[in-house]
Every structure is written in C-alpha cells, then in structure tokens.
Amino acid sequence: MQKIIEKIKNKENSNHVIANLDKFEEQQVVQRNQILSEIDFKKINKAYDSEPWWYDVRGFLILTFAYQSTLPSQVRLFGNNFGKEHLEVAVGSGSLLDLILKWRALTNKPYSKITAFDYAEKMLAGALKKFSKRNDMQLLLADAAKMPFKENSFDTINIANAIHCLPNLIQSLDEMYRVLKPNGTLAGNVLLVPQGDSFWSKLASKINSWGIKKGILHKAYYQDEIIFLLEMRGFKITSSKITGNCFDFIATKI
Ligand SMILES: C[S@@+](CC[C@H](N)C(=O)[O-])C[C@H]1O[C@@H](n2cnc3c(N)ncnc32)[C@H](O)[C@@H]1O
C-alpha cells in the first residue's frame, strides 16, 4: 500500500490528494489493526492485483458479457437510491459511483453525504484518487462483514456488482441491516447462475469460472436463494427485476 500511496503522491501534486492520502494512511493503520485483522490481505491483493484502469476496462467487459447488464440500467437502479446519509459498500475503483454522482448532479438530485469503502487496497487507491477533490466524502478500507459504523447510521446503502463477490454474504447482509436506519433502503444487483445452453450463457459461465479462480467472484446465485437470504436477514424486498443475468432489487429495513 505504501508503494501505491507513493506512486499517487508522485503523480499528483494536488494538496487535496495529499491531505486525503495522509488521512487515509492514518485511518489505514488503525483499520488494518482493529478492523481488518481477520482478513487475508495477501489473498485479496492477489485477486485484485490489476491497475484500476484495467479493472475498469475488464469490468465493462464482464458487465456486458457475464452480467449482460448495461451502465444506464445500473445508473438508474443505484442513482435513485441516495438518502441524506449514504453508504457505498464495495466501491471498487469508484468509476460507477463517479458516473452515478455525475448523473445525479445533471438531473438536480438532492445532496447526499457519502461514505464508501472497499477491502481491496488497489481498488480503494483508485477511488481515493478519483474522489480526491471531494472533501465531503469519506473513503475507507473496510470489510463488509465487519463494518466500522454505528447501528442505524445510514438512510441508504448501495452495493453495486459486488454481492456475489462477498466471501461472507450472511455476515455482510447482517452488517448492512445493522448500519441501515429503520425504513432505510438497500439497492443491489446479484449475478445469477446463467441458464440454458446458448452461446451467451456458456460464455457467461466461462467468465464466472475464471472469476472464481481469480478470486474476484465468490459465486453466482439463484434468484430464490438471494430472495431467501435477504428476507431471512430481515429485509423486505420492495422492488425487483431481472436485467440480463442479474437480479436487481431494492430492499427495505423493516
Ligand atoms: C466487481 S467489483 C464492484 C465495484 C464497484 N461497486 C462497481 O460497481 O464498479 C467488486 C468489489 O467488491 C469488493 N469486495 C469484495 N468483498 C468485499 C468485502 N467483504 N468487503 C469490502 N469490499 C469487498 C472488491 O474489492 C471489489 O472492489
């Protein structure tokens, strides 16, 4: 991580970046010791060893061919789920969040105070760089299964393209439930097991197998399975639809 920070510092001389990075370094020491002590960093860093720009290109290909979803449909799903206090779980390199925030600004949506986190250092470094000018945004290194937030902290949570990446889905859903305020909403999309034996379905299965081997995909789910898991953890699914190979949903904390 030190190397990544040095690299960014050398490239960018903006005070914002340095201030954010210094804050990040401080937070990182605390977080590494207290929150992430149980995480296998070596394994995560190996899985997410690409540069953020390559991650974005690769992500776009995965989105198109494995998820069979589109950026406009994702912007609509996640862009409409922002309350006063918003949490972005597994923000990655921040490219999708950046696009969504630009769309929200263009369409005059109200201001949200945003907290975002990811457990892969390289991904987070990309987001940190992308949002270096936004002093009002908190970016953290943290695990979805053990979040460093008080209960009932957020009005809305988005988890984009990541539920199927979580190694501990049940604990992570419990954490999302805990930190969400009553009546708060969670928006997510879940990669489904490809159905049928068409060329596209076989291609999606191949990409998924590669992702599991690489460590960036935990597993694809069946629709009933994900509905069961969400409801079992206390969420009420208030809207849902299938887009391509994904189950898109909004769930409310009741
Ligand atoms: C496919 S990317 C999606 C990133 C971003 N939300 C987007 O849509 O572009 C999945 C992200 O989930 C993160 N992730 C997976 N498990 C996590 C966990 N337990 N805690 C925090 N982040 C996690 C990975 O590091 C990765 O950045």
Q: Which protein residues touch ligand 1 with a CB less than 6 Å away? A: 48, 59, 90-92, 95-96, 118-120, 123, 143-145, 160-162, 165-166
Closest by CA to 43, choosing from 206, 216, 197, 201, is 216
Q: Which two tokens mark 167? A: 């190694």
CA of 166 to the centre of ligand 1 (A): 8
pLDDT reported for residue 67: 77
Which pLDDT value is given to residue 120?
Answer: 93
Edge-to-edge strand order for the sheet containing 113-118? 138-141, 113-118, 85-89, 154-159, 180-191, 246-253, 235-243
Q: How many angstroms separate the CA atoms of 47 and 91, rounded?
A: 16
What's the confidence (pLDDT) of residue 39?
64
Closest approach atom of ligand 1 to CA 168 = 19
The CATH code of the domain that includes 18 is 3.40.50.150
- pLDDT cut 70: percent of the chain above it: 83
CA of 140 to the centre of ligand 1 (A): 13
User: CA–CA distance from 1 to each of 35, 50, 191 (Å)?
Assistant: 17, 14, 30
What is the rounded distance in angstroms from the CA atom of residue 82 to the CA atom of residue 56? 23
Q: What is the mean pLDDT of residues 141-167?
A: 97
> Residue 26 has what pLDDT?
52
Four-point Cα dihedral 61, 65, 68, 73, nearest 10: 10
Q: What is the pLDDT of residue 52?
A: 67
Q: What is the mean pLDDT of residues 211-239?
A: 95
Q: Is the pLDDT of residue 183 over 90?
A: yes
The Cα–Cα gap between 20 and 139 comes to: 9
- Quick: pLDDT tens for 21-46: 455 445 444 444 445 556 677 778 77
Nearest CA to ligand 1 atom 12: 90
Q: How many domains does the structure of the chain reveal?
A: 1
Cα–Cα separations (whole angstroms), residue 9 to 18, 20, 27, 214:
7, 11, 17, 29
Query: What is the token pair recorded at 235?
Result: 């969420």
Of residues 55 and 201, which shows the higher confidence score? 201
Which residues form the domain of 19? 2-253
